[in-house]
Structure 1
Amino acid sequence: MALSRAARLAPVVEMAESAERTAVQRLGYFQGQVRVAQSKLEDLERFRLEYQEQWIQRGSLGVSGQWLLGYQQFLGQLDTAVGQQRQSLAWHQNNLDKAREAWQQAFTRVEGLRKLVQRYIDEARQLEDKREQKLLDELSQRLPRQSPY
C-alpha cells in the first residue's frame, strides 16, 4: 500500500523535477544577462574615463569654447548612458534574484517530494518485512517439534 502511494506520487515528482529544470535554465539565462549588462556598464565607464583623460590632455594644449561645449554635451550623454546602463543592470539583477528564489522554491519542493516518496518506500519495506516475519513465525509454529533425542 505504501509502495503504491510512492508510485502514485511519481508523476508529481516528475512534474516538480521538470519545473526545477526550467527554473535552473531561467536562472542561467538571467545570470548571463547580468554578466552582459555588467560588461556593458564597465565598457561605458571605461570609455567615459578615457574620454575625460583625453579632455585633460587636450585641454592642457588649449581648446575653443565650442570644443568645450561639445565635450560637455557628449560627456552629459555618456553620463546618461552610464545611468541607464546602471538601471538596466539593476533590472537584470532583480530578475536574477527572482529567478534564484523561484529555483530555490522549486528545488525545495522536489527535495520534499523525494523525501516523502522515500518515506513511503521505507514504510512499504518495513510492512513487507513485518509480513514476512509474521509468515515465518506462523510457519515455524506449524512445524512439528522434534525432540533432539
Structure 2
Amino acid sequence: MSTSRAARLAPVIQMAERAEREAAVLLGRAQGQLRQAEVKLGELEQYLADYQQQWISEGQRGVSGQWLMNYQRFLAQLETAIGQQRQSVNWHRANLDKLRDTWQQRYARLEGLRKLVQRYRDEARQIEDKREQKLLDELAQRLSARDSG
C-alpha cells in the first residue's frame, strides 16, 4: 500500500520538478539582466566622470558661453540617464529577490515531496520486511513442529 502511495505522487513530483526548473531558469535570467543593468550604470557613471574631467581640462583653457550651455545641457541629460539606470538596477534587484523567493519556495516544496515519497518507500520496505519475517517465522515453526513430531 505504501509503495502505491509513493507511486501516486510521481506525477506531483514531476510537476514540482518542472516548476522548480522553470523558477531556476527565470532566476538565472534575472541575474543576467541585473548584471547587465549594473554594467550599463557603471558605464554611464564612468562616462560622467570622464566628461567632468573634460570640463576641468577645457575650463582651464577657457570656454565659450555656447560650449558651457551645451555642456550643462548634456550633463543634465547624462545625470537623468544615470538616475533612470539606477531605477532600472533597483527594479532588477527587487525582481531578482522576488524570483529567488519563488525558486526557494518551489525547491522547498519539491524537497518536501521527495522526503515524503522516501518515507512512504521506507514504510513499504518495513512492512514488507515484517511480512517476510512473519512468513519465515511461520515456516520455521512448521519445520520445527514437523521435525519434533
Same fold at TM > 0.5: yes
Equivalent residue of 1:63, what SS? coil
1:42-76, Cα deviation, whole Å (9 max, x unpaired): 00000000000000000000011121111111100
1:63-142 alignment, distance < 5 Å? 63-142=63-142
Q: What is the alpha-carbon root mean square deviation over aligned residues?
A: 1.0
- TM-score under structure 2 length normalisation: 0.96
TM-fit CA distance, 1:10: 0.5
- TM-score under structure 1 length normalisation: 0.96
TM-fit CA distance, 1:25: 0.2
* Aligned partner (choices 140, 145, 148) of residue 147 of structure 2: 145
1:3-61, Cα deviation, whole Å (9 max, x unpaired): 00000000000100000000000000000100110010000000000000000000000
Percent identical across equivalent pairs? 65
- Counterpart amino acid of residue 19 in structure 1: A
TM-fit CA distance, 1:146: 4.4
- Counterpart amino acid of residue 58 in structure 1: E
TM-fit CA distance, 1:145: 3.1
Q: What corresponds to 2:58 in structure 1?
A: 58
Q: What corresponds to 2:31 in structure 1?
A: 31
* Bigger mean CA deviation after superposition, 138-147 or 86-95: 138-147
- Counterpart amino acid of residue 59 in structure 1: G
**Structure 1: tracts of 5 or more residues without a match:** none
Equivalenced residue count is 147
**Structure 2: tracts of 5 or more residues without a match:** none
